[in-house]
Structure 1
């Protein structure tokens, strides 16, 4: 049968790989590298750079494939995601069959950690026949964010909510907590919150050589974040960012 190793790679910095991750990559018969289009070519290149640096097994093969795009025409968000995941699972299956066959070890490099706001495990569950799944944990973007600012994630005895930009925009600051971490926010939804009493710690490309950070009271930091984010995206063609909001 197929063994599928989902390997957390942090932010793509080879220094973020654990020894367990390196062993799994060198033990793989096939490593899958997804391509997300010209605008995000750097993401595939970072995966290639990791493989080139840490994989010394001469029998390990590399297979690249184009990721399907998510249909923006369907109004139902969950339906769009579900159809997208099914299309990705189909591409995985076809790529594995073409390059490896019905048995062997496959590795897929996953940004951050496969368990946190990532759908790789859900997509893997759609494969047929079902592979044996192994998860190699990685450094999360939350860890990279708090490290970049040298701050603790939580207040003393305080809860933390991890949410998305979509939910922050639609529902506001999560009730019942003084700290929330916001991921997957392409719209900078923090700018729509009442800023009084809120501080923000933001990072773009957290943990990468291109890392940029801003922090401070939300009202003061918002224009700085918007300007630096736009400038970085214009240069790179894409941006991954994350931020922590805290009531003072």
Structure 2
């Protein structure tokens, strides 16, 4: 039976909690996917492994249809199955305790735990989960805001669902998994009076922050997103979006 630690690490080594550090001290190796010849996100994981003297085991990331397929859930499931097979093969060949390093927190828009459930069908594994600092937490801290009104809700969703959520009446949203297409949605004149608190690559090099009336800052958002990508070679952004009647 192989023990695996699933460790949330926020946006880098500086966000590791004491519990996360303890889990990495116990690990003999860390499993991670390599997304192409140059993978700056993998290098963040490598820096963490190097600081703890843990071996980084690279697994080539299977191909995935990222062209907004009609059956998006099915495309993701196929991608996960291919990852499962690759990870299971590595785990079966190794001894000792393994670990997965997860951006942000494993509970929020990350599939590592789902992948592990499938790995367990192929090899004997058990796992622990160490929480990490999530992107919404960092976003709120950077802007010095609370994510919801007094006693009110906050709706966490993805950029793919933004339009549908607004049409359904949501007026206070944290939106994650954004893409270049998200900027087109935010440029909708119907949202001009909404207020946004946006951040990219939070806690990493080239961090970018923008806040204000959406109609006034769309161009600034576009420029800031590109600046983040140019600085780090990648961009992870999210935002809090609030309807005019809820803005404070």
Provide closer, same or farther for how the CA distance between residues 152 and 81 of structure 1 changes in structure 2, counting only shifts above 3 A.
same
The one of 213, 218, 228 aligned to 1:217: 213
Q: TM-score with structure 1 length normalisation? A: 0.89
Higher mean C-alpha displacement, 158-167 vs 122-131: 122-131
Partner of 2:188: 192
The one of 62, 66, 69 aligned to 2:63: 69
5+ residue gaps, structure 1, are none
User: What do the CA deviations read for 1:90-146 (whole angstroms, capped 9, x no partner)?
Assistant: 111112223x15xx3111100000000111111111012242121000000001111
Provide closer, same or farther for how the CA distance between residues 174 and 208 of structure 1 changes in structure 2, counting only shifts above 3 A.
farther
5+ residue gaps, structure 2, are none
Give the superposition deviation at 1:235. Answer: 4.3
How many equivalent pairs are there? 238
Aligned counterparts of 1:34 and 1:160: Cα–Cα separation in 2: 32
The one of 108, 112, 117 aligned to 1:125: 117
Partner of 1:3: 3
User: What do the CA deviations read for 1:67-89 (whole angstroms, capped 9, x no partner)?
Assistant: 11213576311110110010111
Give the superposed CA RMSD: 1.9
Q: Any idea what SS the aligned residue of 1:3 has?
A: strand
Provide closer, same or farther for how the CA distance between residues 203 and 38 of structure 1 changes in structure 2, counting only shifts above 3 A.
farther
User: What do the CA deviations read for 1:174-197 (whole angstroms, capped 9, x no partner)?
Assistant: 645431000001022323362243
Provide closer, same or farther for how the CA distance between residues 222 and 93 of structure 1 changes in structure 2, counting only shifts above 3 A.
same
